[in-house]
């Protein structure tokens, strides 16, 4: 570590390691590591091939000829010379390999569906499902490149009562589908539709406890609807808490997927959620249930959060984070998280000067793997420093971590 860094590291004696890998572990690595990262289109006309530029002009001409009324999506006209319209048209062309007739057919069907479904006004509707907000499907923060992130988790439907309440009959399923489209439209409302801008979202899908058989009908309908009407709207699909059998299936059907489709997939097994998400999303933007620091209240109006520091805890290491210069009467508030915890955590205040003493603010305790970020505060009576410790000496697994803090000086003013 840098000599000026507040983080110090203590290393335990190395232990013999077993490097043998299981068959399932090998499959997980094949599914996760060998897929090259997706490179998003810039949607800049100057970057198009001559054949692609020609296809765009032909599509615009055909749409203008075939359309009996003004064609628009998401408040953007598709018939004018607006570059936003070009971005949308290029999405349909890309989805059909720049085959103009196929792209036009897809586009016209989508325009018809949006009119019948009432998609343009769906954001204004109150569809209920308050119990699903922030749980099943929701927009939450941005990735490191600025893409809005949509989280999906259907594990709550393993509860039969909940399943029946949401999917019990055809009418309930239709209402859920409408709500799910509304969530997606919220994300699309955040896009730029501009060459070189943010023109797609990130999807994080949590497969933990997902009842596959029961949700088959709903899942197929959602997938079909999104593929037909929202082409190239997802830049990356991150699957977390992936069970071992999913990786086996993926290794089998992977050869039948296009390279472009495969390049959008990121697959993360259980226990690796935070490590995977940190590669794409900053910890302060990741929900606490996935190893981040973001709580629902953070998204509401309030004082800005302090900067977040990311670090790693190697196997066999104990990391101490020292916050120096805390004045008497000041309050320090902190958040800290380690992905997949399974280590010991403690916090102590050490006073300055002669007669220095230590206060155990949080006694050493083992943190469970699924425990969320710790949030705490301490008001000092004397000047000193706060030391946050994470002890990973009992493990040989490297773990990602993050913390942030703010020190508020005493409001007391001497006469």
- Is the confidence at residue 36, as pLDDT, over 60? no
How remote is the C-alpha of 381 from its chain's centroid?
A: 40
Q: Mean of the pLDDT values across residues 158-176?
A: 92
Strand order in the sheet with 201-206: 137-142, 148-153, 201-206, 234-242, 265-269
- Rounded Cα distance between 316 and 398, Å, is 9
pLDDT recorded at residue 7: 82
How remote is the C-alpha of 210 from its chain's centroid?
A: 18
- Rounded Cα distance between 120 and 72, Å, is 10
pLDDT recorded at residue 299: 60
Sign of CA dihedral 346, 352, 356, 357: negative
pLDDT recorded at residue 392: 97
- Rounded Cα distance between 62 and 265, Å, is 34
- Is the confidence at residue 4, as pLDDT, over 80? no
Residue-wise DSSP of 42-100:
---GGGS-HHHHHHHHHHHHHHHHH-SS--EETTEESSSS-HHHHHHHHHHHHHTTT-H
Half-sphere exposure of 380 (CA within 13 A, CB side): 26
If you average pLDDT over every residue of the chain, what do you get?
88
Question: Percentage of the chain surpassing pLDDT 90?
Answer: 70
pLDDT recorded at residue 196: 94
CA 269, 275, 277, 282: dihedral to nearest 10 degrees? Answer: 170
Determine which of 8-22, 174-188, 340-354 has the lowest per-residue pLDDT on average.
Answer: 8-22
Q: Mean of the pLDDT values across residues 392-412?
A: 91
Give 297-331 pLDDT, tens digit per residue: 776 656 677 889 999 999 999 999 999 999 999 99
Distant-in-sequence, close-in-space partners of 85: CB < 8 Å, separation ≥ 6: 76, 77, 78, 79
Give 216-253 pLDDT, tens digit per residue: 888 888 989 999 999 999 999 999 999 877 777 777 77
Query: For residue 12, what pLDDT band results from cuts at 50, 70 and 90?
Result: low
Highest mean pLDDT among 93-102, 203-212, 302-311: 93-102
DSSP code at position 169 = S
- Rounded Cα distance between 233 and 192, Å, is 12
Question: Percentage of the chain surpassing pLDDT 70?
Answer: 88
- Answer for the pair 240, 207: CB distance below 8 angstroms, yes or no: yes
**Helix (H/G/I), strand (E/B), else coil: 205:** strand
How remote is the C-alpha of 193 from its chain's centroid?
A: 21
Q: Mean of the pLDDT values across residues 274-280?
A: 97
pLDDT recorded at residue 22: 44
Give 46-83 pLDDT, tens digit per residue: 999 999 999 999 999 999 888 656 689 999 999 877 89
pLDDT recorded at residue 332: 97
Residue-wise DSSP of 340-370:
T--EEEEEEEEE-STT--EEEEEEEEEEPTT
**What is the value of pTM for the model shown?**
0.89
Q: Mean of the pLDDT values across residues 171-179?
A: 94
- Rounded Cα distance between 347 and 403, Å, is 13
Q: Mean of the pLDDT values across residues 167-186?
A: 94
Query: For residue 413, what pLDDT band results from cuts at 50, 70 and 90?
Result: very low
pLDDT recorded at residue 301: 55
- Is the confidence at residue 29, as pLDDT, over 50? no
Give 138-157 pLDDT, tens digit per residue: 999 999 999 999 999 999 99
- Rounded Cα distance between 240 and 93, Å, is 30
Q: Mean of the pLDDT values across residues 286-301?
A: 85
Query: For residue 293, what pLDDT band results from cuts at 50, 70 and 90?
Result: very high
Q: Which two tokens stand for residue 238?
A: 């991150």
- Is the confidence at residue 295, as pLDDT, over 50? yes
pLDDT recorded at residue 81: 79
Highest mean pLDDT among 131-135, 143-147, 156-160, 170-174: 143-147
């Amino acid at each position: 570590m840098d000599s000026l860094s507040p983080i110090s590291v203590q290393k335990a004696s190395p232990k013999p390691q077993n490097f043998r890998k299981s068959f399932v572990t090998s499959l997980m690595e094949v599914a996760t590591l060998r897929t090259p990262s997706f490179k998003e289109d810039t949607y800049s006309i100057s970057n198009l091939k001559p054949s692609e530029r020609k296809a765009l002009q032909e599509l615009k001409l055909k749409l203008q000829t075939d359309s009996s009324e003004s064609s628009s999506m998401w408040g953007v006209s598709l018939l004018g010379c607006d570059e936003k319209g070009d971005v949308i048209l290029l999405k349909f062309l890309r989805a059909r390999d720049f085959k103009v007739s196929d792209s036009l057919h897809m586009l016209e069907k989508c325009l018809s569906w949006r009119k019948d479904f009432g998609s343009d006004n769906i954001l204004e509707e109150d569809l209920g499902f308050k119990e699903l907000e922030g749980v099943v499907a929701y927009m939450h923060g941005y990735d490191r490149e600025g893409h809005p992130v949509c989280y999906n988790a259907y594990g709550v439907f393993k509860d039969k009562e909940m399943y029946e309440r949401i999917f019990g009959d055809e009418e309930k399923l239709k209402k859920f589908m409408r709500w799910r489209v509304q969530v997606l439209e919220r994300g699309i409302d955040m896009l730029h539709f501009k060459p070189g801008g943010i023109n797609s979202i990130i999807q994080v899908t949590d497969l933990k406890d997902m009842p596959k058989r029961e949700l088959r009908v709903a899942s197929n309908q959602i997938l079909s609807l999104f593929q037909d009407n929202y082409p190239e709207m997802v830049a990356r699909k991150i699957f977390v808490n992936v069970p071992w059998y999913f990786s086996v299936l993926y290794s089998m059907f992977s050869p039948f997927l296009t390279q472009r489709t495969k390049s959008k997939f990121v697959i993360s097994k259980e226990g690796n959620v935070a490590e995977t998400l940190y590669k794409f999303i900053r910890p302060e933007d990741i929900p606490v249930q996935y190893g981040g620091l973001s709580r629902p209240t953070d998204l509401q109006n309030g004082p800005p959060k302090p900067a977040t520091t990311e670090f790693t805890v190697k196997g066999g290491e104990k990391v101490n984070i020292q916050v120096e210069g805390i004045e008497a009467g000041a309050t320090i508030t902190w958040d800290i998280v380690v992905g997949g915890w399974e280590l010991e955590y403690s916090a102590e205040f050490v006073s300055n000067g002669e007669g220095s003493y230590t206060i155990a603010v949080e006694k050493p305790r083992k943190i469970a793997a699924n425990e969320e970020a710790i949030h705490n505060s301490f008001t000092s009576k004397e000047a000193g420093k706060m030391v946050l410790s994470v002890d990973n000496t009992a493990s040989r697994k490297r773990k990602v971590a993050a913390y942030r803090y703010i020190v508020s000086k005493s409001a007391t003013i001497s006469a």
